[in-house]
Structure 1
Amino acid sequence: MNNDLDVICGRIMLLFKRVDQTRYWIQVANDPYDSSYNFFFNSQRRGKRLKSIPLHKLENYDLRYLEKIIDELKQETNLTIKFIGFADMRWPKTQKIIQWRRDNLE
């Protein structure tokens, strides 16, 4: 496994508690100003506030590398992955659109 992926998965395992009536997902934010991708672990219990905890920052600002990390992350975890700041961008390998909506602020 990749070192970046090891860090992300290790931190997810520490935070994922499997609490009833709680949604869990991973959020990946594109930061073009800092040339990095930021990973967050989000959880929200029914009727409670959203908790967003930073997981890791990918310094390798390459979409091919990010696509590889995301593919491996999907194999390691069953969590939903949401993307922010990727409007009008496509994955290099599959050419699928990364983020469908511009305003993914839920």
Structure 2
Amino acid sequence: MKKVHNPIFFIFSDDINWVKKDFPLHDATYIDWNLNQDSWQDMFLMSRCCHNIIANSSFSWWAAWLNSNKNKIIIAPERWFRDMETPNIHPEKSEWILIK
């Protein structure tokens, strides 16, 4: 079921060349990593998106958690570590969709 109509993708990465090569989305906006003192800008921008698709990183997890959009959808990996059983670190909220 399609939940988001006409999505606009903002892709944040600390390896923007890899992302552009492996995720060549036509209308995506690629945001190169803001370093050191300016990394808060990435966190702020990510938390202001309508929805979030996150990696297994604490940085993207916090950006999704801080997203105040009442209708947000967050897509996150179900397992946080590949070789380790971990407790569920995701909130028990319906807007979090976990993928295997």
TM category, shorter: 0.3 to 0.5
Larger % of strand: which? 1
TM-score where L is the length of structure 1: 0.31
Q: Which has the higher contact order (CA 8 A, sep 6+)?
A: 1
